[in-house]
Amino acid sequence: MSRSQNEEFQQWWNKQRDRTTNHDVLYTGDDESFLTVEIRTPVVDEPDKKDRIRTRSARQLSRLYLLKFKQLASSFLWIGHSFLYLLRTANRRIANDNPPSVSSSARLYRLIKGFLVLVVLLLFFELAAYFKGWHFTPPSVASAEVALEVVYAWWLEIRASYLAPPLQSLTNVCIVLFLIQSVDRLVLVLGCFWIKLRRIKPVASMEYPTRLVGDGVRLEDYPMVIVQIPMCNEKEVYQQSIGAVCMLDWPRERMLVQVLDDSSELDVQQLIKAE
C-alpha cells in the first residue's frame, strides 16, 4: 500500500470515527504499512439473573392466584344459581300443585306436610339443647330449672319410653326383610348358575297346530312376538292404536298383545278395557 493511499484511508477512517458515537476506535500508527483497529461495543448492564427469576416467579404466581380466584368465583356462582333454580322449581311445583280430588289423599298430603314441619321444629329444638350442653348431661324433670329445660327433659322421657321401642321393632323388621331379600338374591344367582351349567332352555307349554300359512310357509316358521301398547289418559288415540295392532299381518297364534294402561281417569280406563 502506497503512502498516499494510506493517508486517504486514514482520513476516511477519522471521518467515520467522528460520526460513530457507540464505538470507541483505537488507532496505532507506529508502522505505516499496518493498521490496528479495536472496536469496543458498549456493554449494557443486564439485570441480575436472580432478579429476573424473582420477577418472573412473582408474575406467574399473581396470574396463578388470579386464575384460582376466577375458578372459585365461578364455582360459587354455579352453586348459587343451582340453589336458586331448585327453589324456583320447588315453588313452581307447590304453586301449580292441584290437590287430589279424593279426600283421603288430600288428608294424607296435609299430614305429610305437617309431619315435615314438626320434624324441622324438633331439629331446631335438638340444636338448641345441644348448644346448651343438655345433650351431654341430660336434665331430669326434678332438677330442671328453666321452662325449656323442663320441656326437654319431658321430651327425653317420651323418646325413651314411647318412641324408642317401636323404632327398635321397626329396625328389627327391616333387618329381617333385608336378610330375606339377600337370601332371595342368592337363590336367584344359584338358579341362574344352574341353568347355565345344565344348559336348560325354555319350552313352550302350549302345543301349536302345524299348518301352512301361505306359499308353503309353516306356522312354526313365524317367531313368537309380543306387542305392547303403552297408554296414559289417551282418550283420542286409543282406538287407532289398538286397531292398528289388530290389523298387523302376522299369525294370531304367534302374537301376544298387551295394553299397558296407566290412565288415572276412570272413564278412560273403562273405554280402553271395552276396546
pLDDT in tens, the chain (275 residues): 556 666 777 777 777 776 654 444 444 444 444 445 455 555 445 555 555 556 667 777 788 888 888 888 888 889 988 888 888 887 777 766 555 445 666 788 888 888 889 889 888 888 887 887 776 666 666 666 667 677 777 888 888 888 889 999 999 999 999 999 999 999 999 999 999 999 888 776 666 555 655 666 677 777 888 888 888 888 788 888 888 888 888 888 788 888 888 888 888 888 888 87
Q: For residue 193, what pLDDT is reported? A: 93
Q: What are phi and psi of 234, to 5 degrees?
A: -95, 80
Contact status, residue 248 vs residue 255, Cβ threshold 8 Å: yes
For cell 498516499, name the residue. 4
> In whole angstroms, what is the distance from residue 245 CA to residue 259 CA?
10
- How far apart CA 79 and CA 89 sit, in angstroms, is 15
What is the pLDDT at residue 129?
A: 79
pLDDT at 40: 53
CB atoms within 10 A of CB 145: 8
**What's the pLDDT score for residue 269?**
85
Q: Cα angle vertex 230, ends 224, 232, to 5°?
A: 165
Residue 64: CB atoms within 10 Å: 10
> What is the pLDDT, as a whole number, of residue 38?
52
**CA–CA distance, 127 with 154 (Å, rounded to integer):** 16
Among candidates 253, 228, 254, which has minimal Cα distance to 242? 228
